[in-house]
Amino acid sequence: MSFQQVLADARAQSDWIVGLRRTLHRFPELMYEEVKTSQLVCDTLDQLGIAYERGIAVTGVVATLGTGESPCIALRADMDALPIHEETDVPFRSEVDGKMHACGHDCHTAMLLGAAKLLRERESELRGTVRLLFQPAEEGGAGGKRMRDEGVLDNPGVERIFGLHVWPKLPTGTIGSRAGTFLAAAGEVEITIHGKGGHAAMPHLCIDPVVTAAKVITELQTIISRNLDPLDSGVISITTVHGGEAYNVIPETVRLSGTIRALTMDRFRWLQDRVKTLASQVAAANDCSATVEFHGEAYPPTVNDADVWSDVQDFAAELLGREAVHEIPPVMGGEDFAFYTERVPGCFVGLGVSNEATGCTYHVHHPKFKVDEDALPIGSALHACFALQSLSR
Protein backbone atom coordinates (compact mmCIF):
# COMPACT_ATOMS: atom_id res chain seq x y z
CA MET A 1 0.00 0.00 0.00
CA SER A 2 1.46 3.36 -1.08
CA PHE A 3 0.32 6.35 0.95
CA GLN A 4 2.12 8.59 -1.55
CA GLN A 5 -0.12 7.22 -4.30
CA VAL A 6 -3.18 8.06 -2.21
CA LEU A 7 -1.95 11.64 -1.90
CA ALA A 8 -1.17 11.82 -5.62
CA ASP A 9 -4.68 10.58 -6.44
CA ALA A 10 -6.18 13.11 -4.02
CA ARG A 11 -4.28 15.94 -5.66
CA ALA A 12 -5.43 14.73 -9.07
CA GLN A 13 -9.03 15.27 -7.95
CA SER A 14 -8.28 18.58 -6.22
CA ASP A 15 -10.57 20.59 -8.53
CA TRP A 16 -13.47 18.28 -7.72
CA ILE A 17 -12.90 18.56 -3.94
CA VAL A 18 -12.47 22.34 -4.11
CA GLY A 19 -15.60 22.64 -6.24
CA LEU A 20 -17.63 20.82 -3.59
CA ARG A 21 -16.20 23.05 -0.90
CA ARG A 22 -17.02 26.24 -2.78
CA THR A 23 -20.61 25.16 -3.38
CA LEU A 24 -21.00 24.42 0.33
CA HIS A 25 -19.36 27.73 1.21
CA ARG A 26 -21.84 29.73 -0.84
CA PHE A 27 -24.86 28.27 0.97
CA PRO A 28 -24.03 27.97 4.68
CA GLU A 29 -26.61 26.49 7.04
CA LEU A 30 -26.74 26.67 10.82
CA MET A 31 -27.01 23.73 13.20
CA TYR A 32 -29.79 21.23 12.48
CA GLU A 33 -30.71 23.26 9.36
CA GLU A 34 -28.16 21.57 7.06
CA VAL A 35 -30.78 20.47 4.51
CA LYS A 36 -29.02 21.59 1.31
CA THR A 37 -25.68 20.51 2.73
CA SER A 38 -26.82 16.97 3.52
CA GLN A 39 -28.53 16.79 0.10
CA LEU A 40 -25.24 17.64 -1.59
CA VAL A 41 -23.56 14.93 0.47
CA CYS A 42 -26.20 12.39 -0.54
CA ASP A 43 -26.09 13.39 -4.22
CA THR A 44 -22.30 13.01 -4.22
CA LEU A 45 -22.47 9.62 -2.52
CA ASP A 46 -25.04 8.53 -5.11
CA GLN A 47 -22.65 9.55 -7.89
CA LEU A 48 -19.91 7.51 -6.23
CA GLY A 49 -22.15 4.47 -5.71
CA ILE A 50 -21.73 4.51 -1.93
CA ALA A 51 -24.57 3.33 0.32
CA TYR A 52 -25.75 5.66 3.08
CA GLU A 53 -28.44 6.45 5.61
CA ARG A 54 -29.80 9.96 6.06
CA GLY A 55 -31.91 11.77 8.63
CA ILE A 56 -29.70 10.70 11.53
CA ALA A 57 -29.61 13.41 14.20
CA VAL A 58 -32.07 15.34 12.00
CA THR A 59 -29.77 16.18 9.08
CA GLY A 60 -26.83 13.80 9.52
CA VAL A 61 -25.69 11.29 6.90
CA VAL A 62 -23.79 8.05 7.52
CA ALA A 63 -22.16 6.26 4.57
CA THR A 64 -20.59 2.80 4.57
CA LEU A 65 -17.79 1.26 2.55
CA GLY A 66 -16.11 -2.12 2.74
CA THR A 67 -17.30 -5.52 3.91
CA GLY A 68 -19.93 -4.42 6.41
CA GLU A 69 -18.20 -6.59 9.01
CA SER A 70 -15.71 -5.96 11.80
CA PRO A 71 -13.23 -4.42 12.17
CA CYS A 72 -14.91 -1.05 11.68
CA ILE A 73 -13.38 2.41 11.74
CA ALA A 74 -15.06 5.80 11.38
CA LEU A 75 -14.15 9.08 9.71
CA ARG A 76 -16.05 12.19 10.76
CA ALA A 77 -16.79 15.62 9.28
CA ASP A 78 -19.09 18.33 10.64
CA MET A 79 -21.36 20.32 8.33
CA ASP A 80 -22.84 23.38 10.07
CA ALA A 81 -21.95 27.05 9.68
CA LEU A 82 -21.92 30.04 12.04
CA PRO A 83 -24.15 33.14 12.42
CA ILE A 84 -21.37 35.44 11.15
CA HIS A 85 -21.61 37.82 8.19
CA GLU A 86 -18.78 37.08 5.77
CA GLU A 87 -16.29 39.85 4.94
CA THR A 88 -13.87 37.99 2.68
CA ASP A 89 -13.10 38.90 -0.93
CA VAL A 90 -13.48 35.39 -2.38
CA PRO A 91 -15.73 35.02 -5.46
CA PHE A 92 -17.62 32.16 -3.81
CA ARG A 93 -18.43 34.06 -0.61
CA SER A 94 -21.58 33.28 1.34
CA GLU A 95 -24.83 34.15 -0.43
CA VAL A 96 -26.75 34.06 2.86
CA ASP A 97 -26.60 37.26 4.89
CA GLY A 98 -25.48 36.71 8.44
CA LYS A 99 -24.27 33.14 7.89
CA MET A 100 -20.79 31.94 7.03
CA HIS A 101 -18.60 28.85 7.09
CA ALA A 102 -16.22 30.67 9.42
CA CYS A 103 -14.98 27.47 11.07
CA GLY A 104 -14.16 25.50 7.94
CA HIS A 105 -16.86 22.85 8.16
CA ASP A 106 -17.41 23.25 4.41
CA CYS A 107 -13.80 22.12 4.01
CA HIS A 108 -14.31 19.22 6.43
CA THR A 109 -17.32 17.96 4.48
CA ALA A 110 -15.61 18.32 1.11
CA MET A 111 -12.47 16.57 2.35
CA LEU A 112 -14.47 13.61 3.64
CA LEU A 113 -16.28 13.35 0.32
CA GLY A 114 -12.87 13.37 -1.32
CA ALA A 115 -11.82 10.53 0.97
CA ALA A 116 -15.02 8.67 0.06
CA LYS A 117 -13.98 8.80 -3.61
CA LEU A 118 -10.46 7.60 -2.83
CA LEU A 119 -11.75 4.73 -0.71
CA ARG A 120 -14.41 3.75 -3.23
CA GLU A 121 -11.63 3.29 -5.77
CA ARG A 122 -9.82 1.05 -3.25
CA GLU A 123 -12.82 -0.70 -1.74
CA SER A 124 -11.48 -4.15 -2.62
CA GLU A 125 -8.50 -3.43 -0.36
CA LEU A 126 -10.64 -2.71 2.71
CA ARG A 127 -10.42 -5.58 5.20
CA GLY A 128 -13.42 -4.43 7.16
CA THR A 129 -15.81 -1.49 7.25
CA VAL A 130 -15.32 2.25 6.92
CA ARG A 131 -18.12 4.44 8.24
CA LEU A 132 -18.27 8.06 7.07
CA LEU A 133 -20.03 10.37 9.53
CA PHE A 134 -21.36 13.64 8.09
CA GLN A 135 -22.48 15.30 11.29
CA PRO A 136 -24.72 18.30 11.96
CA ALA A 137 -24.61 20.85 14.75
CA GLU A 138 -21.05 20.93 16.02
CA GLU A 139 -21.34 24.65 16.79
CA GLY A 140 -23.12 24.38 20.11
CA GLY A 141 -25.76 21.82 19.19
CA ALA A 142 -23.90 18.70 20.38
CA GLY A 143 -24.62 16.94 17.11
CA GLY A 144 -21.84 14.48 17.85
CA LYS A 145 -23.56 13.32 21.01
CA ARG A 146 -26.86 12.95 19.18
CA MET A 147 -25.21 10.96 16.37
CA ARG A 148 -23.48 8.74 18.92
CA ASP A 149 -26.68 8.21 20.89
CA GLU A 150 -28.51 7.26 17.68
CA GLY A 151 -26.07 4.40 17.15
CA VAL A 152 -23.54 5.53 14.54
CA LEU A 153 -20.75 3.78 16.47
CA ASP A 154 -22.59 0.43 16.52
CA ASN A 155 -23.35 -2.58 14.25
CA PRO A 156 -20.55 -3.33 13.75
CA GLY A 157 -18.91 -1.51 16.61
CA VAL A 158 -16.47 1.23 15.63
CA GLU A 159 -13.00 0.45 16.96
CA ARG A 160 -11.23 3.70 16.00
CA ILE A 161 -12.32 7.14 14.83
CA PHE A 162 -10.51 9.99 13.08
CA GLY A 163 -11.37 13.64 12.52
CA LEU A 164 -9.74 16.72 11.01
CA HIS A 165 -10.11 20.43 11.68
CA VAL A 166 -8.63 23.19 9.55
CA TRP A 167 -5.90 24.87 11.63
CA PRO A 168 -4.96 28.48 10.78
CA LYS A 169 -2.01 28.42 13.17
CA LEU A 170 -0.19 25.87 10.99
CA PRO A 171 1.01 26.35 7.38
CA THR A 172 -0.44 24.33 4.54
CA GLY A 173 1.30 20.99 4.20
CA THR A 174 1.57 20.36 7.94
CA ILE A 175 -0.55 18.82 10.68
CA GLY A 176 -0.57 19.07 14.46
CA SER A 177 -2.04 17.23 17.39
CA ARG A 178 -1.00 15.45 20.55
CA ALA A 179 -1.63 12.39 22.68
CA GLY A 180 -4.02 12.90 25.60
CA THR A 181 -6.15 15.99 26.06
CA PHE A 182 -6.03 18.12 22.92
CA LEU A 183 -9.11 20.34 23.27
CA ALA A 184 -10.98 21.59 26.31
CA ALA A 185 -14.28 20.84 27.95
CA ALA A 186 -16.55 23.75 27.06
CA GLY A 187 -19.97 25.08 27.93
CA GLU A 188 -22.20 28.15 28.03
CA VAL A 189 -23.11 30.32 30.98
CA GLU A 190 -25.83 32.96 31.31
CA ILE A 191 -26.02 35.30 34.29
CA THR A 192 -28.98 37.60 34.88
CA ILE A 193 -28.50 40.39 37.43
CA HIS A 194 -31.80 41.55 38.96
CA GLY A 195 -32.02 45.04 40.44
CA LYS A 196 -34.57 47.84 40.72
CA GLY A 197 -35.05 50.16 37.76
CA GLY A 198 -35.84 53.82 37.69
CA HIS A 199 -34.77 57.27 36.51
CA ALA A 200 -31.03 57.54 35.90
CA ALA A 201 -31.08 61.00 37.52
CA MET A 202 -32.13 59.41 40.82
CA PRO A 203 -29.87 56.37 41.25
CA HIS A 204 -30.38 56.44 45.02
CA LEU A 205 -33.97 55.34 44.45
CA CYS A 206 -32.84 52.40 42.31
CA ILE A 207 -30.70 49.31 42.71
CA ASP A 208 -28.44 49.46 39.68
CA PRO A 209 -27.86 46.09 37.96
CA VAL A 210 -25.51 47.68 35.42
CA VAL A 211 -22.88 48.60 38.01
CA THR A 212 -23.36 45.24 39.67
CA ALA A 213 -22.94 43.42 36.34
CA ALA A 214 -19.67 45.28 35.77
CA LYS A 215 -18.43 44.11 39.16
CA VAL A 216 -19.47 40.53 38.42
CA ILE A 217 -17.60 40.55 35.10
CA THR A 218 -14.45 41.81 36.79
CA GLU A 219 -14.66 39.50 39.78
CA LEU A 220 -15.22 36.40 37.66
CA GLN A 221 -11.66 36.79 36.38
CA THR A 222 -10.32 36.35 39.90
CA ILE A 223 -11.53 32.74 39.77
CA ILE A 224 -8.87 32.11 37.11
CA SER A 225 -6.19 34.36 38.63
CA ARG A 226 -6.71 33.59 42.33
CA ASN A 227 -8.70 30.36 42.77
CA LEU A 228 -7.26 28.20 40.00
CA ASP A 229 -3.86 26.54 40.36
CA PRO A 230 -1.43 28.57 38.19
CA LEU A 231 -0.26 25.28 36.64
CA ASP A 232 -3.83 24.36 35.69
CA SER A 233 -5.78 25.80 32.73
CA GLY A 234 -9.20 27.41 32.63
CA VAL A 235 -11.12 30.12 30.81
CA ILE A 236 -14.08 32.24 31.85
CA SER A 237 -15.03 34.71 29.11
CA ILE A 238 -18.09 36.94 29.28
CA THR A 239 -18.84 37.76 25.66
CA THR A 240 -22.26 39.47 25.66
CA VAL A 241 -23.83 42.15 27.86
CA HIS A 242 -27.49 43.12 27.42
CA GLY A 243 -29.31 45.66 29.56
CA GLY A 244 -31.41 48.75 29.20
CA GLU A 245 -33.09 50.52 26.28
CA ALA A 246 -32.80 54.24 27.11
CA TYR A 247 -29.87 56.48 28.07
CA ASN A 248 -31.71 57.93 31.06
CA VAL A 249 -33.28 54.81 32.54
CA ILE A 250 -31.64 52.36 34.93
CA PRO A 251 -32.93 48.93 33.84
CA GLU A 252 -34.41 46.23 36.02
CA THR A 253 -32.04 43.53 34.76
CA VAL A 254 -28.78 43.00 32.92
CA ARG A 255 -28.03 39.70 31.17
CA LEU A 256 -24.52 38.41 30.64
CA SER A 257 -23.46 35.35 28.69
CA GLY A 258 -20.21 33.65 27.88
CA THR A 259 -18.22 30.47 28.02
CA ILE A 260 -16.39 28.33 30.57
CA ARG A 261 -13.47 26.07 29.53
CA ALA A 262 -11.21 23.55 31.30
CA LEU A 263 -9.05 20.57 30.39
CA THR A 264 -10.97 18.07 32.53
CA MET A 265 -14.66 17.67 33.33
CA ASP A 266 -13.93 17.78 37.06
CA ARG A 267 -12.25 21.17 36.69
CA PHE A 268 -15.03 22.34 34.36
CA ARG A 269 -17.72 21.49 36.93
CA TRP A 270 -15.66 23.19 39.64
CA LEU A 271 -15.48 26.37 37.55
CA GLN A 272 -19.24 26.27 37.04
CA ASP A 273 -19.76 26.05 40.80
CA ARG A 274 -17.38 28.94 41.45
CA VAL A 275 -19.08 31.12 38.82
CA LYS A 276 -22.47 30.48 40.39
CA THR A 277 -21.25 31.21 43.91
CA LEU A 278 -19.25 34.31 43.07
CA ALA A 279 -21.92 35.89 40.85
CA SER A 280 -24.58 35.35 43.51
CA GLN A 281 -22.43 36.75 46.30
CA VAL A 282 -21.25 39.82 44.37
CA ALA A 283 -24.86 40.54 43.39
CA ALA A 284 -26.03 40.15 47.01
CA ALA A 285 -23.29 42.50 48.23
CA ASN A 286 -24.80 45.15 45.93
CA ASP A 287 -28.41 44.49 46.99
CA CYS A 288 -29.12 42.67 43.72
CA SER A 289 -29.73 39.01 43.01
CA ALA A 290 -28.25 36.78 40.31
CA THR A 291 -29.68 33.89 38.34
CA VAL A 292 -26.96 31.66 36.86
CA GLU A 293 -27.87 29.12 34.17
CA PHE A 294 -25.78 26.73 32.10
CA HIS A 295 -27.51 26.27 28.76
CA GLY A 296 -26.97 23.62 26.15
CA GLU A 297 -24.88 20.47 26.33
CA ALA A 298 -21.44 20.89 27.87
CA TYR A 299 -18.75 19.39 25.62
CA PRO A 300 -16.25 17.05 27.30
CA PRO A 301 -12.54 17.45 26.59
CA THR A 302 -11.28 15.93 23.34
CA VAL A 303 -8.80 13.23 24.35
CA ASN A 304 -6.62 11.56 21.73
CA ASP A 305 -5.64 7.95 22.16
CA ALA A 306 -1.82 7.72 22.28
CA ASP A 307 -1.60 4.64 20.04
CA VAL A 308 -3.93 6.12 17.43
CA TRP A 309 -1.98 9.41 17.37
CA SER A 310 1.25 7.42 16.98
CA ASP A 311 -0.18 5.62 13.95
CA VAL A 312 -1.37 8.93 12.46
CA GLN A 313 2.13 10.36 12.89
CA ASP A 314 3.59 7.40 11.01
CA PHE A 315 1.47 7.62 7.88
CA ALA A 316 1.40 11.44 7.94
CA ALA A 317 5.20 11.46 8.01
CA GLU A 318 5.23 9.26 4.92
CA LEU A 319 2.71 11.55 3.22
CA LEU A 320 4.12 14.95 4.19
CA GLY A 321 7.56 14.38 5.71
CA ARG A 322 8.42 13.95 9.36
CA GLU A 323 9.14 17.68 9.78
CA ALA A 324 5.54 18.47 8.77
CA VAL A 325 4.04 16.54 11.71
CA HIS A 326 3.89 18.64 14.87
CA GLU A 327 3.17 17.84 18.50
CA ILE A 328 1.31 20.90 19.74
CA PRO A 329 0.08 21.91 23.21
CA PRO A 330 -3.57 21.65 24.30
CA VAL A 331 -5.96 24.29 23.01
CA MET A 332 -8.86 25.72 25.00
CA GLY A 333 -11.26 25.42 22.07
CA GLY A 334 -14.02 22.85 22.41
CA GLU A 335 -15.15 20.15 19.96
CA ASP A 336 -18.02 17.71 20.04
CA PHE A 337 -15.77 15.10 18.40
CA ALA A 338 -15.16 14.46 22.12
CA PHE A 339 -18.49 12.64 22.39
CA TYR A 340 -17.14 9.96 20.06
CA THR A 341 -13.80 9.57 21.85
CA GLU A 342 -15.65 9.10 25.12
CA ARG A 343 -16.75 5.77 23.62
CA VAL A 344 -13.97 4.64 21.26
CA PRO A 345 -10.24 5.37 20.81
CA GLY A 346 -9.67 8.13 18.33
CA CYS A 347 -7.59 11.04 17.15
CA PHE A 348 -8.51 14.59 16.23
CA VAL A 349 -5.93 16.46 14.14
CA GLY A 350 -5.35 20.04 13.08
CA LEU A 351 -4.73 20.44 9.34
CA GLY A 352 -2.59 23.45 8.41
CA VAL A 353 -4.37 25.93 6.10
CA SER A 354 -2.36 29.11 6.64
CA ASN A 355 -0.77 30.87 3.68
CA GLU A 356 0.27 34.52 3.94
CA ALA A 357 0.71 34.82 0.17
CA THR A 358 -3.02 34.26 -0.37
CA GLY A 359 -4.24 36.14 2.71
CA CYS A 360 -5.15 32.99 4.61
CA THR A 361 -4.10 34.32 8.01
CA TYR A 362 -7.30 34.97 9.96
CA HIS A 363 -8.38 32.56 12.66
CA VAL A 364 -11.62 30.59 12.72
CA HIS A 365 -14.81 32.39 13.80
CA HIS A 366 -13.57 35.59 12.14
CA PRO A 367 -15.59 37.23 9.31
CA LYS A 368 -12.44 37.35 7.15
CA PHE A 369 -11.45 33.72 7.74
CA LYS A 370 -10.11 32.00 4.62
CA VAL A 371 -8.35 28.70 4.00
CA ASP A 372 -5.62 27.72 1.57
CA GLU A 373 -7.51 25.27 -0.63
CA ASP A 374 -4.27 23.43 -1.47
CA ALA A 375 -4.76 21.78 1.92
CA LEU A 376 -8.01 20.08 0.94
CA PRO A 377 -6.62 17.11 -1.01
CA ILE A 378 -4.14 16.58 1.82
CA GLY A 379 -7.06 16.27 4.21
CA SER A 380 -8.82 13.79 1.94
CA ALA A 381 -5.64 11.70 1.72
CA LEU A 382 -5.20 11.75 5.50
CA HIS A 383 -8.74 10.46 6.00
CA ALA A 384 -8.25 7.71 3.43
CA CYS A 385 -4.86 6.67 4.76
CA PHE A 386 -6.23 6.44 8.30
CA ALA A 387 -8.87 4.01 7.07
CA LEU A 388 -6.46 1.97 4.97
CA GLN A 389 -3.81 1.77 7.68
CA SER A 390 -6.24 0.99 10.48
CA LEU A 391 -7.89 -1.85 8.55
CA SER A 392 -4.54 -3.34 7.53
CA ARG A 393 -3.43 -3.76 11.15
**pLDDT tens digits, one per residue of 137-188:** 999 999 999 999 999 999 999 999 999 999 999 999 999 999 999 999 999 9
Whether 206 and 174 share a structural domain? no
Instruction: Check whether residue 113 and residue 225 sit in a common domain.
Output: no
The total number of structural domains in the chain stands at: 2
Are 306 and 203 contained in the same domain? no
Residue pair 335/185 in contact by the 8 Å Cβ criterion: no
Q: What are the backbone angles phi and psi of residue 60, rounded to the nearest 5°?
A: -75, 155
Q: Do 327 and 238 share a domain, yes or no? A: no
Q: What is the mean pLDDT of the chain?
A: 97
Q: Which domain holds residue 49?
A: 3-183+301-392
76, 174: one domain: yes
What stretch of H or E contains 276? helix 265-285
Go through the chain and tell me how many residues it has.
Answer: 393
Same domain, 160 and 227: no
Burial of 194 (0-12, 13-18, 19+ CB in 10 A): middle
User: Which residues lie below 8 Å from residue 229, measured CB to CB, with a gap of 6+?
Assistant: none
pTM of the complete model: 0.96
- Cα separation of 190 and 232, whole Å? 24
Q: Of 293, 319, 343, which closes a domain?
A: 293
- Residue 377's nearest CA partner among 109, 162, 133, 115 is 115
Q: Are residues 197 and 162 in the same domain?
A: no
Same domain, 154 and 212: no
Three-state secondary structure along 160-211? EEEEEEEEEEEECCCEEECCEEEECEEEEEEEEEECECEECCCHHHCECHHH
**302 — pLDDT class (breaks 50, 70, 90):** very high
The CATH number of whichever domain residue 68 belongs to comes to: 3.40.630.10
Judge if 81 and 126 occupy the same domain.
yes
Residue 2 has a pLDDT of 85
| Alpha carbons 368 and 359: distance in angstroms, whole number | 9
Confidence of residue 1 (pLDDT cuts 50, 70, 90): low
For residue 198, the domain's CATH number is: 3.30.70.360
Percent of the chain scoring above 70 in pLDDT = 100
Q: What average pLDDT does range 207-216 have in this prediction?
A: 98
Q: Per residue in 44-103, pLDDT tens?
A: 999 999 999 999 999 999 999 999 999 999 999 999 999 999 999 999 999 999 999 999
The domain boundary residue, chosen from 293, 315, 339: 293
Same domain, 233 and 102: no
For 319-343, what is the mean pLDDT?
A: 97
pLDDT computed for residue 393 by the predictor: 77
- What three-state secondary structure class fits 66? strand
Question: What residues have CB less than 8 Å from 263, skipping those under 6 apart?
Answer: 181, 184, 185, 232, 233, 234, 301, 330, 332
E strand map for 57-117 = 60-66, 72-78
Count of other CB atoms within 10 angstroms of residue 81 = 27
Indicate whether 174 and 276 sit together in one domain: no
DSSP state letter for 100: B
Please identify, among 238, 263, 293, the residue that sits at the C-terminal boundary of a domain. 293
312-337 mean pLDDT: 97
Asked whether 179 and 304 are in contact (CB, 8 A), the reply is yes
Check whether residue 179 and residue 199 sit in a common domain. Answer: no
